[in-house]
A and B are shown apart, each in its own frame.
Chain A
Amino acid sequence: MEPIQSIGTQLDWVVLVIYMISMLLFGTYFAKYNNDTNDFFFGGRRFTWWIIAMSIVATGISSHSFIKYSAMGFKYGFSSSMSYINDWFFVPFFLFGWLPIIIYSRIRSIPEYFERRFSPSARFLVTILQLLYLVGYVGIGFLTMGKAILPLMPEFVTIFGMQIHITLMGLIWITAIVTGIYITFGGQTAVIFTDLVQGVMLLSAGFIVFFLGVSYVGGWDSFWSLLPTTWKLPLAHFNSPAEFNSVGTFWEDGIAGSVGFLFMNMGLIMRFMATKNVHEGRKAATINILFMLPVSAIVVGGGGWVAKAISIKFPNLIPAGTEADEVFVVIANILTGPGVFGFIIASIAAALMSTVATLLNAAAAIWVNDVDKPIRIWMKKVKKEDPVDEKRAMVIARGATVAFTLLGVISVYAFSSYPTIYQAHAFFHATLTPPLMVAIFFGVFWKKFTPAGLVTTIFGGISLMLLGNRFPLELIAPISQGTPYDPVHPFTYMAALYNLIVTSAVAILVTLFQEQLKSLANKIKKNANGNIIMNVIIVFIAIVVIYVVATAIFKLSFVPFLPLLLTTILLMSAVGLSTTYYVKYDAKAQTLGLTIWSIHQAKEWFKGSKLNEREGENVVASWKLVETDNEDIINFSKHDMNKMAAEAGDMVYISDTRKYLGGLKSCHTIYGEPHTENGVVYIRKLHVEKGLFVEGRLLEAEKEM
């Protein structure tokens, strides 16, 4: 089917181009807030909850975009965006488990957590999975963007007499270049502030289309009565059709997707790390899930819902042959006038740029921290304890951003075979999320989980997942709960449940048999031929892994299903044994402060001294610059310290009192010994530089711990 092209007017193009240029300039303006990699990646850990909550809206909406939810809304109704209101189940784990651990352990990336909790090899494996996850997400974003803009484009343009055919992939390359430039120079602060603007634009655009559509069909009563009852239900049919059902969406999105988004999406994690403290991070996450996501559900699905109502009332208005993924753009063009349509498309562009920019920034952070640095340590160019060469790290970060932009575009080719973006995204979640989800979950919540459990989860779990992909009728059908079998894309959603079961089972079994594995590893170590035995085991692992990967990719069938399954189970024992043999692991030291069972310890390490959890009030004070030294301490009067329930050595956050800045002008520091001048805080040059404080402006101080 040929895609629809050449809709919209010149005015729409003007609006779109002006918007893109404005965002580029706005983003690059914030480059001045990037003094080091901490600012570039984490925005200086200073923002208040509302800025982060709003910026998460823009990121979240794009990743579950207008295009895919409107497509499903047009086909199935209100249930299209059910995945926006099923994220609460894992919130306790996130707010009181993962969020405090990532902040208090001062990690700079998820893979770094795995090195501290398990081993360098665990970090290496998780780095690969994380980068695949992020690059895949970027690819989905670019595909969405291409599908959104293509309908506006003519089929051909003539430049210097040459006729150029405009294709989806050509368009994706151009949008990738624009997005790459803006994130490469702006960094995390740019992402957060442009998202603030984009979040507002997105919500406005979605509501404009929805309300115009409702009005087009004659108001709310008419809209409601036009839709069949099944279209108005908030949850899809339990298990059919294959391309969209409740049980599949529950496992693929409510479980794998929710955990993927909250726990694994390094882009989102970096947003929470940019909040001024854990409490603000909790507020940002909660407000986002409780209020912003339900609103977003209407915003992203509304286009498809009104398109359905319009198609019933005016059957010939939506062109025959319109693909599901084109519905939003087509209906927006019908409902809005010239210029407004450009605004709507600009907001989709905004949504894409937010998500992609966040993910690219995250991928660059992982490259700098988890690839570049370990390689330099391994090559003995730097020592582990050496301070970061900020200038070099910034160059590497920007180079990595460019490289991941290119990889993101290349990954689009893998998703383009799916009929809708919704299904492409579901396949992506169901496949890449479970191993990392299990790794993070068991790492954080189960003290006994060992490096052998983790490495086997990744190798053995993924091997079993690949077998599931190759033999879906044998492995996934028994747990598919009645969802139909689609031979082209078998069990796109229920694969998530199968993948979760096999990866969890591997993790649990290997950890439970850890003592037996340890004793076997010790016996091999004592054996004169120990090295030979281990080499044979490693060769066996390599052969089986290569064969299983080839079986899934090339649909091989040299080895029948059952022997292959048994060999894969044997592979898992071999991986567990070899990890136990080679990896040094101190269970006590490597779980302290890194699991939910010892968060208090993590908090004390974060502070560097005993905690002061007495509750006090915030204090507003004018500031005076101390020029005799440049220590990282500030001084309040004894009276003000008492009011804050603070003591010398406690951690404090000071910020400009203008709330609308959302913490942009602020910094973290330590209380020094008190003075006698009430209502005045003595600060140093480094605080003025870090917090960009303005002379004559008051500061608000909040004791942290």
Chain B
Amino acid sequence: MIDFFNTWFPYIYLYVGGGIFFIAGMILIRKTKAIDMRLKRDRFWWKVLIVGFFYFALIHALLIIAALYL
């Protein structure tokens, strides 16, 4: 039987749990100036990191929707 624990709960757990580590990493690299936002190249990487997180979240969400409704 398909329930919330099969579908969206693992998704929420993954992106909330993983998101905590991800945000901690993003804050740390800014705070320590390991990523230098004055450099064009580093500004590009900052965007890539954020887009990457949502890219995977979107892939997972679309796959769940496809499994449930297609």
Chain A 276-295 interface residues, beta-carbon cutoff 8 Å to B: 279, 282, 286, 289-290, 294
Question: A615's closest neighbor in chain B, by CB?
Answer: B40
Assess whether B60 is in contact with A85, with CB atoms less than 8 Å apart: yes
Residue ID in chain A nearest B51 by CB atoms: A290
Contacts of A84-115 to chain B: CB distance below 8 A: 85-86, 88-93, 95-97, 100
Which of chain A's residues have a CB closer than 8 A to the CB of B59? 85, 234, 294
Cβ B25 vs Cβ A90 within 8 A: yes
Residue A541 CB within 8 A of the other chain:
no
A286 touches B17 (CB 8 A): no
Residue A670 at the chain B interface, CB threshold 8 Å: no
Taking the closest CB of chain B, its distance from the CB of A693, in whole angstroms, is: 28
A78 contacts B by Cβ under 8 Å: yes
Name A286's contact: one of B22, B25, B48 (CB within 8 Å): B48
Interface residues on B, range: 35 or more
Is B55 in contact with A96, judged by CB distance below 8 angstroms?
no
Q: How far is the CA of A326 from the CA of B57 in the complex (A)?
A: 33
Q: Kindly state the separation between the CA atoms of A344 and B63 in the bound complex, as whole angstroms.
A: 28
Secondary structure call for the B interface: helix
What's the Cα separation between A235 and B12 when bound, in Å? 11
- How many residues of A are in contact with the other chain, CB < 8 A? 42
**Cβ of A147 to closest chain B Cβ, rounded Å:** 29
Nearest chain B CB to A279 CB, angstrom units = 7
User: Contact mask A596-617 → B, CB, 8 Å, 1/0?
Assistant: 1101100000000000010100
SS of A interface (majority):
helix
| Nearest-neighbor residue (CB-CB) of B18 within chain A | A89
Q: Least Cβ distance of B19 to chain A in Å?
A: 7
Contact, CB under 8 Å: B34 / A596: yes
A285 to chain B, nearest CB (A): 11
A254 within 8 A of B: yes
Flag B45-70 by CB within 8 Å of A: 1 or 0 each. Answer: 10011001101100110011011101
Contact A88 B14 (CB under 8 A): no
B21 and A89 within 8 A (CB): yes
A contact residues around B21 at 8 Å (CB): 89-90, 255
Q: Chain B interface: which of A14-22, A122-130, A236-244?
A: A236-244
A93 touches B14 (CB 8 A): no
> CB-defined interface of A516-540 with B at 8 Å, one 1/0 digit per residue?
0000000000000000000000000
Residues of A within 8 A of B48 (CB): 286
* B35 near A96: Cβ-Cβ < 8 Å: yes
A105 to B: closest C-beta gap in Å: 14
- In the complex, given contacts A86-B14, A97-B25, A238-B5, what are 14 additional A-B residue pairs having Cβ atoms less than 8 angstroms apart? A85-B60, A88-B22, A89-B53, A90-B22, A92-B22, A229-B68, A234-B63, A235-B64, A239-B5, A250-B14, A250-B18, A282-B45, A294-B59, A599-B33
Please name the 5 residue pairs, one residue from A and one from B, whose CB atoms are nearest each other, closest first. A92-B25, A246-B10, A232-B67, A234-B63, A89-B18
